Structure 1
Amino acid sequence: MPAFALAHLHDAPINEDILTYIERIQATLDPFGGRFRVHGGEVEVKEGDWPGTVVIVEFPDVERARAWYDSPAYREILPLRTRHIPGATLIVDGVPPDYDASRTAARLRARAAG
């Protein structure tokens, strides 16, 4: 099942550290099968407040997503971003290809009914 690393980044100034981070990040993803799905595209806010930008990287599974984030190669470049751009980063499991939200709702209804 795929997993995703998501980052909500605020006030992304372009400077030498950020450019170096962007230049080097792909090499840290490749050994873990990580692929950018969203990388700083324009955000169209439909509900709530969302300052900044979003990055989404897909991995084959959650174990590889965690291994990438904790890898020496990524840990080496991470401060290049975190020194300059505040934000939140998380890793989350995806859903299988046959996922149907109505089945999740049925399970939740059954639990609530007790």
Structure 2
Amino acid sequence: MPAYVIVNVDVLDEEAGLAYAPVAQRSILSHGGRYLVAGPTPEPVEGTWDASRFMVIEFPDMDRAREWYDSPEYRRARKIREGKVRVAMLFAEGTPPEGFALPD
């Protein structure tokens, strides 16, 4: 079952953000992740949205997402952004291949 990493990002130091992005991207791709959404925050239609950038990353399963997050490659990326790029991140299970069914 796919797993998703949902990320809000605020870059406080543009130089650090530029250094962090390629290291993080390589770590994601090397662990089977792929970007589904990446870029400026979409237009909010309800409520407020505080982050300046938004991403949704898909991994083959939750184990791969956790392996990526704990990997030496991504730990290096986190070190680069420490105190300079603010990140809020969620892990979420996807729906099974047969899709989402509403309860009866």
Instruction: Letter of the 1:40 partner, please give it.
Output: G
Indicate the structure (1 or 2) with the bigger Cα radius of gyration.
1
**Cα–Cα, structure 1 residues 6 and 46, in superposed 2: closer, same or farther, change >3 Å?**
same
In the TM superposition, structure 1's runs of 4+ consecutive aligned residues that sit over 6 Å from their partners are none
Aligned to 1:4: 4
CA distance in structure 2 between the partners assigned to 1:9 and 1:26 by the alignment:
14
Aligned to 1:75: 75
Aligned to 1:38: 37
- Among all aligned residue pairs of Structure 1 and Structure 2, give the percentage whose two residues are the same amino acid: 36
- 1:24-67 CA deviation, whole Å, 9 max, x = no partner? 22221123101111112341101111122211111000000000
Instruction: Letter of the 1:97 partner, please give it.
Output: P
CA distance in structure 2 between the partners assigned to 1:87 and 1:76 by the alignment:
15
CA distance in structure 2 between the partners assigned to 1:49 and 1:101 by the alignment:
29
Could you tell me which runs of 5 or more consecutive residues in structure 2 were left unpaired when the two chains were aligned.
Answer: none
Going by fraction, where is strand more abundant, 1 or 2? Answer: 2
* SS at 2:85 equivalent: coil
TM-score by length of 2: 0.85
Going by fraction, where is helix more abundant, 1 or 2? Answer: 1
Q: What's the CA shift for 1:14?
A: 5.4
TM-score by length of 1: 0.78
Aligned length: 103
* SS at 1:86 equivalent: strand
Give the alignment's Cα RMSD to 1 decimal: 1.7
Could you tell me which runs of 5 or more consecutive residues in structure 1 were left unpaired when the two chains were aligned.
Answer: 107-114
